[in-house]
Amino acid sequence: MPVECAYRFRFYPTPEQADVLNRTFGCVRVVYNRARAMRETAWAERKERCGFKQTNAMLTALKKQPAFAWLNAVSSVPLQQALRHLDTAYRNFFQRRAHYPQFRRKDGPQSAEFTKSGFRYRDGALTLAKMAEPLAVVWSRGLPSAPSTVTVTREPDGRWYVSCRVVAFTETLEGGDSVGLDLGLKDLAVLSTGEKIANPRHLAKRQKRLAREQRRLARKQKGSKNRAKARLKVARAHAAVRHARHDFLHKLSTRLIRENQTVCVETLLVKGMLKAKRHSKSIADAGWGELIRMLAYKAAWYGRTLVKIDRFYPSTKTCSACGTTGHALTLSDRAWTCPDCGAHHDRDHNAARNILAAGLAVTACGEGVSPGVLRHSGQSSMKQEPAP
């Protein structure tokens, strides 16, 4: 099955290549910010809508001005791609899929995207426009096809990465069981089989080192070289947390998809839960949303089914043995006994079993919305009989 994906590799640029890329990042940032300001001014003052066509004309006129002649020293492909990214950002905002586009900052991660006309890939060597030598990429694995786009990124910790967008071929997995997942903080996930996956708490484990580096950064004089070195150490401490979390979630999601034909999860409003002051840091550290996102696209890749249960479905307060619901439970009740049938339940295991039962009911009805993903409306219970 052909799927589009990105292969990310680390590379080590020469001083000349780093200079070209840094100038490209600066030009991309200037073009993006000027186009955003132009679109915002046009609507605020004249109620005019500006799209890629208008901003591209602005870029052409800007290159002809003597004060911006340095824009011609870099490849024009990343500059036009920046305008397309801005247009996509506005479209996502108006369709309520993202926040309002912000100005790009100089001290954050920097990136530039090259299409096929902006790079050359031959015999495992990747050469970007305006460069005479190929990049020293650490090819940890071979590319399944020639890349259609290449994105170069410089992270705040000083590391350089290149992402190649390719078409890969995945095999459809067959066999496997069905499993329900109940996500939490004490245990990251409790399966309907009774297995508990401990929460690794990546940020909490590295909080001491991160706090020490942040204190050292706060004492450095602004604009000094020592402050730049301290900022680099803080960025690397954050990168260690991010990389460890992504590695763990990738391994967990891959294992669940390979072992199970159907995976049922509860849809959580993580954005709203992060407003809780007491548990917001732990919720962000757990990465529930990223785990569900990985399960969704991997299920589509390998022919599996991911069922998303409505977050209002009372999975915790429903007895998985007799099906009665509405039991009064508090967050401190980690185990409870059903007053109707007398069954004793572990709170999270019981919720996982109910999520699995609701997910299997959805797959039986065939209420699909997109390939590999099904949804549960939460309007019916497990015990309800089908309509005649």
147 and 204 in a single domain? The answer is no
235 and 199 in a single domain? The answer is yes
Q: Is residue 386 part of a domain?
A: no
Range of the domain at 260: 177-375
Domain endpoint, select from 145, 169, 193: 169
Structure tokens at 291: 């785990």
pLDDT tens-place string over residues 289-329: 999 999 999 999 999 999 998 888 888 888 888 888 878 88
22 and 140 in a single domain? The answer is yes
The closest of 173, 197, 301 to 249, measured between CA atoms, is 197
The closest of 346, 348, 380 to 364, measured between CA atoms, is 380
Domain endpoint, select from 169, 195, 222: 169
148 and 67 in a single domain? The answer is yes
337 and 370 in a single domain? The answer is yes
pLDDT above 80 (res 121): yes
Average confidence score pLDDT of the chain: 90
- Which is more confident, 252 or 373? 252
214 and 266 in a single domain? The answer is yes
Quick check: 119 and 194 in contact, CB under 8 A? no
Q: Which of 113, 182, 213, 285 is catalytic?
A: 182
User: Does the annotation mark 19 as catalytic?
Assistant: no
Number of structural domains (the chain) is: 2
Q: Which of 87, 155, 213, 348 is catalytic?
A: 348
User: Does the annotation mark 266 as catalytic?
Assistant: yes
Q: Which of 266, 333, 340, 367 is catalytic?
A: 266
pLDDT tens-place string over residues 51-68: 999 999 999 999 999 999
176 C-beta neighbours (distance < 10 Å), count: 15
143 and 183 in a single domain? The answer is no
Domain endpoint, select from 169, 199, 220: 169
Give the Cα separation of 234 and 219 in Å (integer). 13
The closest of 351, 380, 350, 383 to 367, measured between CA atoms, is 380
193 and 131 in a single domain? The answer is no
The owner of tokens 């996502």 is 92
The owner of tokens 């329900």 is 180
**This prediction's pTM:** 0.86
Q: Is residue 384 part of a domain?
A: no
119 and 182 in a single domain? The answer is no
User: Does the annotation mark 348 as catalytic?
Assistant: yes
120 and 257 in a single domain? The answer is no
User: What DSSP line would sit under 101-154, residue for residue?
Assistant: P-PPPSSS-EEEEE-GGGEEEETTEEEETT-SS---B--SS--SS--SEEEEEE
164 and 186 in a single domain? The answer is no
pLDDT above 80 (res 72): yes
